[in-house]
């Protein structure tokens, strides 16, 4: 029996949602850009200390928001906490995007911009990164003349690793008249570039952040939007009263109190990324400069077979062959031990960039 349900047109037109990979536990997980070393021990200590009463009460946000605002060097009024970075992106659709209105993105990029646009019934104007993964600045400036509702730029971009400097982003901000400019800085701790200090200068600038990457809290789902108080007030109106759970707040506060652990992790990732990139070059694999905790590489026509063999060996990478061409892959930079194992397996499997498949 089929139910007669009043399903929205935008939902009927969506492709079926493909759930994120399950069954990753125990594998070498270089496919989701997580902190594979785990969060700081201060976080697990703080979570263990939570009381039964605390867990039974609805969360309060004022104090935690003030403490987390200090981490970003903004005021409490300039910070909105969200249920993960994904939710920090979704709220723009609820606040600014009517069905049939348009947003701009630059692909390949984080898929959630398109995902939420489809649910909202919005039109997506998509430009492309260049063959060397360069950002199409001229094209974006031109698109802004059409006054789309929102422009999303991941900086650095996932999966290309492309990083725009502040001066390029300021060109974008100056060209926007009635467009919300969202700079998604999920990997800002690794890149060292942030637009947060500019929120007072540009009222249509919104910076999205997450505690899933450098802080290692992906399981707890905590994200944030940072913007000037007045602009942020429109997003607040589109939020539910309890978007963030108490455990996420406790964990994030502990994580930012232990800033040294975050800095150590960033240093480790940069060092391992440099070593791993050199190893790939020795294997004849092309890589693209990345400012995140991941690397886009092109293994050529033998790549897809290699990625499947590695998966059978319990090493997960993100194959991007479908959208970027056979052999493109995004690899999370894990611990030195994980990356050493990966290089060893690639060699053991007899991979050659030049041999015909």
Ligand X SMILES: Cc1ncc(COP(=O)(O)O)c(C=O)c1O
69-79 core/surface letters (b: 16 or more CB in 10 A; e: else) = bebbebebbbb
* DSSP result, 85-102: HHHHHHHHHHHH--TT-E
Residues 188-227, one symbol each (x = binds ligand X by CB under 6 A, - = not), give ----------------------x-x-----x----x----
86 touches ligand X by CB under 6 A = yes
Please list, in sequence order, all residues whose beta carbon lies within 8 angstroms of the beta carbon of residue 131, skipping any fewer than 6 positions away. Answer: none
Give the interface segment with ligand X, choosing from 21-29, 79-87, 227-235, 303-311 (CB under 6 A): 79-87
Q: Are 69 and 61 in contact (CB under 8 A)?
A: no
The rounded distance, in Å, linking the Cα atoms of 311 and 23 is: 12
Q: Is 161 one of the binding residues for ligand X (CB under 6 A)?
A: no
- The window from 19-27, 84-92, 275-283, 336-344 that contacts ligand X (CB under 6 A) reads 84-92
Distance CA 144, CA 153 (A): 13
Q: Looking at 154, 256, 310, 315, which residue binds ligand X (CB under 6 A)?
A: 154
Print the binding letters for residues 8-47 with ligand X: x by CB under 6 A, - otherwise: -------------------------x--------------
Q: How far is the CB of 213 from ligand X (least distance, A)?
A: 7
3-state helix, strand, coil in the chain (%, to 5): 45, 15, 40
Of residues 100, 110, 181, the one with CA closest to residue 140: 181
Q: Which of 35, 158, 194, 290 binds ligand X (CB under 6 A)?
A: 158
Judged by beta carbon, residue 223 or residue 327, the one nearer ligand X is: 223
Binding footprint of ligand X on the chain (CB under 6 A): 33, 84-86, 110, 154, 158, 184, 186, 210, 212, 218, 223
């Amino acid at each position: 029996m089929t139910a007669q349900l009043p399903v929205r047109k935008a939902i009927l037109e969506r492709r079926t949602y493909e759930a994120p990979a399950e069954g990753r536990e125990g594998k070498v997980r270089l496919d989701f850009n997580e902190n594979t070393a785990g969060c700081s021990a201060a976080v697990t200590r703080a979570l263990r200390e939570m009381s039964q009463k605390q867990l039974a009460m609805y969360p309060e946000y004022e104090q935690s928001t003030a403490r987390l605002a200090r981490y970003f060097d903004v005021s409490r009024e300039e910070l909105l906490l969200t249920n993960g970075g994904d939710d920090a992106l979704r709220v723009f659709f609820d606040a600014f995007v009517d069905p049939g209105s348009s947003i701009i993105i630059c692909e390949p990029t984080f898929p959630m911009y398109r995902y939420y646009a489809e649910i909202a019934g919005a039109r997506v104007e998509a430009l492309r990164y260049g063959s060397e993964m360069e950002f199409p600045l001229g094209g974006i400036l031109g698109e802004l003349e059409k006054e789309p509702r929102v422009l999303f730029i991941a900086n650095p971009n996932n999966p290309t690793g492309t990083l725009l400097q502040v001066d390029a982003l300021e060109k974008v901000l100056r060209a926007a008249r009635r467009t919300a400019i969202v700079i998604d800085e999920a990997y800002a701790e690794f890149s060292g570039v942030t637009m947060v200090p500019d929120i007072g200068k540009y009222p249509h600038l919104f910076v999205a952040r997450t505690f899933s990457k450098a802080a290692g809290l992906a399981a707890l789902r905590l994200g944030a939007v940072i913007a000037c108080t007045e602009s942020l007030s429109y997003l607040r109106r589109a939020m539910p009263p309890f978007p963030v759970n108490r455990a996420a707040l406790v964990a994030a506060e502990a994580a930012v109190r232990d800033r040294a652990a975050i800095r150590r992790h960033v240093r480790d990732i940069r060092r391992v990324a440099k070593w791993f990139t050199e190893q790939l070059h020795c294997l004849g694999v092309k890589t693209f400069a990345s400012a995140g905790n991941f690397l886009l590489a092109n293994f050529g026509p033998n790549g897809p077979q290699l990625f499947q063999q590695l998966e059978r060996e319990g090493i997960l990478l993100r194959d991007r062959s479908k959208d970027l061409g056979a052999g493109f892959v995004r690899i999370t930079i894990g611990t030195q031990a994980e990356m050493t194992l990966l290089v060893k397996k690639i060699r053991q499997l007899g991979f050659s960039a030049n041999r015909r498949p």
